[in-house]
Structures are given as structure tokens and as C-alpha cells.
Structure 1
């Protein structure tokens, strides 16, 4: 009811008692949907009107003090500066009021929900000369007096309308209509309906205002409320209380819930990584290292016939014979050499996975602490400090500006360009010369970057998974196998005048890979 005619009946006299005879000294905006009007009262004190015209929840408030920022603000309605306020009027049965200046100019506050606006009239009885929300083109044709309504609130009129509450009194609003419904209005006969309507209007003539919360939204009501979280008999204070709850507190709760959702997603991803990596490590620990097979081959070289592809050799690790497949075209010694190298790489991967696992378990503990901090936060200060710390919760604006999607593969970040222009920006602004660049060969697609880390080289598995992403985000997405080229970023360059996303590549290698999306990795 904060924009309701029945509330404005109390609000307008309270504003009038403060500003009548005062002078407008400033009109400015430092937020897109917010207008501040500063008035110097007859007593020489400042009086501020803050009109926040967010389409989602427009409201008025009257801060005791308002510190204008030194930048990012703009002066508005210069014609009104220095003018004296000679009158303030509430339009009959309308969610609008205006005050008149000493040269017959006027400010109209049209508080029509998402279509709320503030209009300035050089001539009170003419058309507006300036609008705060200029996108509301239809407001250019508004005349103040044309907004007023003439309603007859009598028993005869009520009978004529067959007790239709919305037609009898269209200014009621949602809360009073809900009160009527709960009181059995729809099922009652005409006399009982009129009695309920009279009772409702009598309650709304009492200047007592309550703020309460319903379905995560804050509401202001003229009706008795047992669940009120704040109440007052001062309509100006009621507006300020509503602003603090419905705007400031609501914004805080929205950000807080957003942070909790972000932390919850991070926790789920971290737990998933820990689960998968633990399973992989367990499997790797159970499998004998390739070096054992190499040891068996080297110990039994004299028993391996030339050109053999498969041999049955005694394995002294298990104290039994076992069948070993050799690699076609390689001598047993060379094959054993490959197995020793593979075993060394496997140990490196094993150590890296254990290191990544330890990092993720530590990160899980940090997430739990951050969740506790957010849950206990009751104001912006504590949440802002958390946002500032490590910048772990990027804003929606920051997220939109990033030209890439981010994935994680075995501790390495893999970035995928979002578009042809984003590919250029990714390569120009977000890569280091030793990062690995990948792209599906001979077809259009996203640039993919493996972010390298000091002292750590991406394993074959990381390279293959990044290549699978490059194939997935390309025209070869549906192919059974797709060629993907890769090379350090220092060998990728943009040619002046080339199309967005087009690059020249030197020293590339090619890998054949099955395209796989992020959900498969």
C-alpha cells in the first residue's frame, strides 16, 4: 500500500507541513532510476525527497540527510531551482500528487507502479515540459486535472454496482482486497458486503502503518497486522522504514542468497571433483605400473622371438607366467623404454592428482567457512568484505564481460571462447605465451586455451580433454573423430584485417579426438 491513494491521504499532509513555503535548491540523480529533490524549508533546514522509480518496486522516502557524490551525478529540472513551493495537493482517488511553484509551475508525482514517473509542468494546467523517465512517451500527453477521479461512495452506488468492490472503489489495492476476501466478502449478501466495505474504510482512516514480510517481499499496510516487523504512526517514517526493508534489506538478502547459491555450486563441483579424483587414484593404485611390465620384458629378452606381437613370460612380481602384448614395429627393448617413460608420466600424473586432491579438500574447508560467514552476515559491510577477499564472487556484470567459458580439468583451467569476436579478445587479452592453444582443424569453432602453471605441464589426459572440448565447440561437433590442432599461444597470431576469429598458426600438432562436451568431461 506504499503507492496507495489511501496511504497518500496521510503522506501528502505530512509532506506539505514540511515543504510549504520552502524553496527547491537542487534536483539531481546519481543512479539511473533515482531522483533527489532537496528543499530548503521556511526554517532553513534541508528536506530531501528521494524518488526511486525502479519498475520492479518504485517508492518514495525522505532521508534526514543525503550526501551527494562528487562524481557520477547529473542535475535535472533546472527550471525548478530557486522556486518556492506554494501548494501541495493529492489528486482525488488517484495514486498521484503534485506541488505548485510560485510561477504556476508544478511537479507531478505519478506513482503508477511500474509506470511511475515524475513530470514537470511550466504551466500547471498545460502539458508537461520535462519527464524524469523519458522512455514513458505517453506521459507527454498527461494533464494534471484529467487524472482526478470522482467516486460516489454511497449505499445506492454500491447497490447499483451489485457490490463489485473493484468498481465501487478501484483504489483499494491488493492488501485491502485480500482482507475482504478473507472476511468472506465474495460469499456474503449485499448488506454484509457493504458492512465489510465500511469496516475496511474505517480501518484505513486510522493513521497507523505496519511493515511486514510475505513471500520474501516487504509490504506496507494500513490494516492491523500481527506479524509486523516495524510500525509507526508517522507516514514519513513509514516510507523510510519501507525503503530500508523493501529496497536496502531486500537487495542485501538477494545478494546474500546469490552468494550462498554460488558457494553451494562451488561446493558441489568440489565434492564431485574429490569423488572422481579419489576413485581415479584408487584405480591407479590398484593397477601395476607399466614399469613392472617393462622389467619383465627386459628380464626375459632372450625368450622373446623376433617379430613377436604376443609372448607368455614369467612375471617375478606375481610369481607366475602372464601374457604380454608387444607393440608392432617396435623392438622389445624400445617397447620397454616406452613403458618406463609411460610409468614415469603416470607417477607425475599420480603426484599431481594427489596435490590437486589436497588443494580441493582445503578449498572445501574454505567454502564451509565462507558459507558460515555469509549465513551470519546481517549487513552489506560483512558481505562486501567477503566479495573483496579474493574476488571469489564476480558480479553479473563481470561475468557477462568475460569472453570465455571456464572449465577445470585435473587442476588446469581450460577456457573456451564464446564467439568469433570473443576468440580474438581471448587471444589478445587473456593468454600467456606458454598457454596451450587448441582449435578444430579446417572448420570454424571456438578457440580453446589451457592455462599453464609455473613448473607444471599439462598431461596428455588434460590435452586430450581440452581437445575434446575444442572439437565439441566446432562444426565437427557430431563427428565420431575430429582433428584438433594445438600449439603454444606464442605461435598463434592475428593478421591485420582478417575476419573475427581468424588467425595464423605456426608449428602446430594435430590430435584425433572424439568430441565431448563439458558434461562428459
Structure 2
């Protein structure tokens, strides 16, 4: 209810008492949707802080505010030096205003995701300046239209058949829920009128209660049994709500989001370790293909006179084994293929063991990170942690507008840049120096990154998959085979002044793969 007329009509007189006679000494913003005004009063300085980032629209009026040295811009220069004469609330509207000594009017329109701050010149009905210029309809907003007197008499109530939303559209969710809990929808007209009068009496003499509703803090003007905190000063209630809902609430959400992201990654890592360990055990316990090759080579005479099939005694197991040749295949060729397969399997065993070792190191690192985040209690420490682990910021499920698509393959994470500018952003703000970077050779295309932090061995299948994506998201998409270069991210650098997506690459290697999109499988690496 902090954006509601029924609260603003108490807040405005309190603001009038605090700010009347104060002079505006600065007006600035250091984030896209937050405006801060600094005022100098007869006795002390104070600030007006309007955070208008939907859906988190909150106000605060702190005695102190530390302006950032960087990323801060002065706004509404016309306000600086002006005197605050009056603060008032528009009747039955989610808006309040400051009248200034120069005749200007500063309006705070609190319409949810259409919230804005508007400056009107003396005797002008249309705004001269908007804080959020993207809200185009506000350019034609006549401030007098915000005044909305309502007839709250019983006759009008009866004419509306007790429809609460039409009778008093400014009620808001909490008062409407209060009426519903008391059987308002089913009540008679007389009973509805009495319930409405009871509600208005409560709204006329409120205590400002901060309540937790499904993990979010709300301000209520009604008696609340399980209030987090109850206050009698509307400015103090607004400040406390700002801290609990925006500052602390955002901290808790960000912390939980980061924890869940690490937990999800840990779960995937555990799953990969378990599956790979089972596969490793299976391969180690299975007879190597070279044993069958030895049996074939010892029984070449069984394939005389053009025979393509024979039952041989496996002298390793003592059991018979059926061997069948392909058309025009010699037994020596089959044995050669089995020897090669056995050699490759040993390479696969070595690679799986190395990958499991890397995943075990990653698991230990994730467990340490989870322990570190659990211990964080302040936003400042969380911010410091994220800064020192900036390559992990893409883990957050709450993260929006990431400059890349994400793919998972055999326990590895692969990123594909969405555009030329996004390629630069991914390289600049997300990639670790040990990650593997790929790009279709000598043609425009997406940057592709295999996340390798803490991992020393990369299976060839993962390299092929990422290379297939790099080819698919490039001008070589329709080729049967495409050359893709790859190197460690530390050997990729952006040259100042170069075009978006353009980089210098050192120590690159080349792999030939068929382009393969998100739902396709890559073929074996060609070179």
C-alpha cells in the first residue's frame, strides 16, 4: 500500500513538515531508474530517493546518502537552488507533489511499472522534463487530471450495488483482501456498506505495519497479527520498507539465486562423475577388442575358400565366439580394426579418468563457494564476492539479457554469442582465461566458448560439439564441412577501435567439422 492514496495522504503532510523551507542543492542519478534529490534544510540536510525500477518501486527519505564518485549523472538542473514550499497528495490518486518557490511543481507519479517523476514549469499544465522519457504518454500528462475527487456517500454506494472496486478504486490488494475475508462478496448491501465504513475507519487511523506475504515485504495500513514491524511515522515506515523490501530483500533473493545456481551446477557435476565412473568401470571390466583380434589372427585358416563367418574358440575365456565378416572384408582387416579400437579405448579410458579428476576438483571448488556464500550476511560482502568471481555471474537464474546462448554437453557448458556486440560483451565480462574459444575460420559468426575453469582435459567429442555450433552459427552454416579455429581465451584479445566482434587471435588450431545446430549431433573430427 506504499504507492496507494490511502498511505500517501498521510505521507505527504509528514514530508511537508520535514522538507518545507528546504532548498534543493543537487539532483542526480547513479542507476537507470533511481532519482535522488539532496535538500538543505534550516537544521539538517535530507534526501529524497525514488527507486522506479518496475516492479520494485519504492521511496526513501534518508538523512544521509553517499553519492558514488563514478557512474553518477546530474539531472533536473532546473531544480537546483529552488525552495520547497509545500508537499501534498493528489486526491484519490497514486501521486504526490512538491510545490517550489519558483512556481514549479515536481510530481511523483507512482503507477507501478509506469511510475515517473515529472517537472512542471510555473503555470504550465504539461511537463517540461521527465525522469523516465520512455513513458511517452507522460509527455502529455496534465497534472490537474491527477486530482480525482470521489463521492463516498451511501447513495452512490447503493447505485453501484456495493461494487467496492468502482466505489473506491484506490483500495489496493490488501484492503480488498480484508473485505473478502469478511464475506464482502456474498454480503447484503447493508452489510457491505457497514464493512466499507469499518474499513474506511481503519484506513483513517492507521498503524503502518510491514508484513511478509509469500517472501515479499508489504506495507499495510490495517491491523496485522503477524507484522514484521509496526510503526507510527509514515516516513519511518517508508524508509524501513525500502530497506527490508529492496535492500535486504534484493540481497536475500540474489544470495538464494546464486546458491541455487551453484547447487544446480554441483548436482550436474555429481551426476557426471557418477555416470562417467560407471562407464569407466564398465570399460575396464569388459574384455578389450584386441582379445578378439588375437583370436581371429590365430584362426585365419577358418576363413579359407571365401568363408565370411566362423565359430572360433576364444582362448581367453574358453568359450566359443561367432565372428562374421562384412562383404569383401578380410579377417585381417577386421582384426586390424579391433586392434585400433582397443588402442582408442585406452585413450578413452585415460581421457575419462582425467575428466573425472577435473570434475572432482570442480566439485570441491563449488562446495567451497557454497560454504563462502552461506557465510555472507551483508550486501556489500555479496557484491565483493561477485566481483571477485565475475566469471560465474552467468550462473544466476535471475540473470536476464545474457549476451549468449547456453548449451550443456557431456557435463560441459558451452556459450554461443548472440551478436557481434554480444560477442564482445561475453569476452569482456564473462569468459575466464582458461576457457576454450572457438570461431568459424575467416567468416562472420558467433564466438563460442567452452567453460574450462578448473578443467585440464577436454574430450574430443566436446570440442567437436562446440566446433559444430561455431560453424552452424556462422556464414559456413550450409557447408558440408567447415574449418573452425580454437585456442584458449587468454590468447584472444580485442583491439581498441576495432569493429564489434572483431578480435586478434594467437596460437590457434583448426578442426574440420560439419555444422551442427542445437538439436543436431556432430560427426567425428576430421583433422
TM-score range, shorter chain: 0.7 to 0.9
Deviation at 1:219, TM superposition (A): 0.8
Q: CA shift at 1:394, angstroms?
A: 2.2
Give the aligned partner of residue 495 of structure 2: none
In the TM superposition, what is the alpha-carbon distance from 1:164 to its structure 2 partner? 2.8
Q: Distance in 2 between matches of 1:437 and 1:163?
A: 67
* Larger Rg belongs to: 1
Structure-2 change in CA distance of 1:290 and 1:400 (3 Å):
farther
Separation in structure 2 between the aligned mates of residue 399 and residue 158 of structure 1, nearest angstrom: 46
Q: Deviations over 1:54-84 (max 9, x none)?
A: 2313221112211111222221111121111
Q: Is the 8 A contact 2:439 2:471 kept in 1?
A: no
Q: Unmatched 5+ residue regions in structure 1?
A: 491-499, 502-506
Q: Which moved more, 1:201-210 or 1:153-162?
A: 153-162
Cα distance in 2 between the residues matched to 1:112 and 1:451: 43
Which residue of structure 2 lines up, in the alignment, with residue 93 of structure 1? 92
Structure 1 SS opposite 2:152: coil
TM-score, normalising length: structure 1:
0.78
The residue correspondences of 1:347-358 to structure 2 (distance < 5 A) are 347-358=346-357
The equivalent residue for 1:26 is 26
SS at match of 2:126: coil
Indicate the residue corresponding to 2:72 in structure 1: 73
Deviation at 1:211, TM superposition (A): 0.8
**Whole-Å Cα distance in 2 between the matches of residues 322 and 12 of structure 1?**
92
- Cα-Cα RMSD: 4.6
Show the 5 A alignment for 1:373-452: 373-374=372-373, 377-388=376-387, 390-391=389-390, 393-395=392-394, 402=403, 405-409=406-410
1:36 and 2:36 matched: yes
2:259 is the counterpart of 1:271: no
1:398 CA drift (Å)? 8.7
Deviations 1:387-423 (A, max 9, x none): 3454463247998565564444477x76667679989
Question: Contact between 2:209 and 2:219, CA under 8 Å: does it hold in 1?
Answer: yes
Q: CA 1:305 to 1:399, structure 2 compared with 1: closer, same or farther past 3 Å?
A: farther
Alpha-carbon shift at residue 386 of structure 1 (Å): 4.6
Give the aligned partner of residue 164 of structure 1. Answer: 163
Q: What is the distance in 1 between the residues matched to 2:295 and 2:354?
A: 31
- 2:485–2:511 Cα contact (<8 Å) kept: no
Deviation at 1:238, TM superposition (A): 0.6
Correspondence for 1:494: none
Q: Deviations over 1:109-135 (max 9, x none)?
A: 222222222111211453221111222
Equivalences for 1:110-259 in 2 at 5 Å? 110-124=109-123, 126-259=125-258
- The CA deviation string for residues 299-319 of structure 1, in whole angstroms up to 9 with x for no partner, is 567887597755655543224
- Distance across 2 between alignment mates of 1:200 and 1:86: 33
The alpha-carbon deviation at position 275 of structure 1 amounts to 3.6
Alpha-carbon shift at residue 177 of structure 1 (Å)? 1.6
DSSP 3-state at the match of 1:67: coil
Moved more, 158-167 or 11-20: 158-167
Secondary structure of 1:29's counterpart equals: strand
Look up the match of 2:50: 51
- Corresponding residue of 2:106: 107
Q: How far, CA to CA, are the matches of 1:360 and 1:457 in structure 2?
A: 10
Distance (Å, rounded) in 1 between the aligned partners of 2:77 and 2:110: 22
Distance of 2:145 and 2:437 partners within structure 1: 69
Structure 2 vs 1, CA of residues 458 and 347 (structure 1 numbering), >3 Å: closer, same or farther? same
Deviations 1:68-105 (A, max 9, x none): 11222221111121111222222222222222222212
| TM-score scaled by length of structure 2 | 0.77
What do residues 188-227 of structure 1 show as CA deviations (whole Å, max 9, x unaligned)? 2333322222221221222421111112322101101112
Distance 1:385 1:338 in 2: 56
Q: Give deviations 1:327-380, integer Å, cap 9, x for gaps.
A: 888887776565444433322211221232233344345444544554564433
CA separation in 2, counterparts of 1:326 and 1:31?
72
Query: Contact conserved, 1:404 with 1:426, CA < 8 A, in 2?
Result: no
Which residue matches 1:11?
Answer: 11
CA contact (8 A) 1:314 1:321 kept: yes
Alignment partners' CA distance in 1, 2:285 and 2:183? 73
Which whole-Å deviations, capped at 9, do the CAs of 1:470-496 have from their partners, x for residues lacking one?
Answer: 89889999x9xx954557659xxxxxx
User: Against the structure 1 CA distance between its residues 47 and 424, is the aligned structure 2 distance closer, same or farther, given a 3 Å change threshold?
Assistant: closer
Q: Secondary structure at the match of 1:119?
A: strand
Matches of 1:267 and 1:394, distance apart in 2: 16
Structure 2 distance, partners of 1:367, 1:455, is: 13
The match for 1:504 is none
Structure 2's unaligned 5+ residue stretches are 488-500, 503-508
Cα distance change on mapping 1:486 and 1:399 into 2, 3 Å? farther
Q: Is the 8 A contact 1:404 1:422 kept in 2?
A: no
CA distance in 2, matches of 1:195, 1:452: 68
Return 343-352 or 315-324, whichever deviates more.
Answer: 315-324
Within 2, Cα distance between the matches of 1:194 and 1:512?
Answer: 74
Count of equivalent residues: 500
SS at match of 1:120: strand
Structure 1 residues 483 and 516: alpha-carbon distance in aligned structure 2, compared to 1, 3 A threshold:
farther
Q: 2: distance between equivalents of 1:328 and 1:509? A: 33
Q: CA distance change for structure 1 residues 324 and 438 in 2, over 3 Å: closer, same or farther?
A: farther
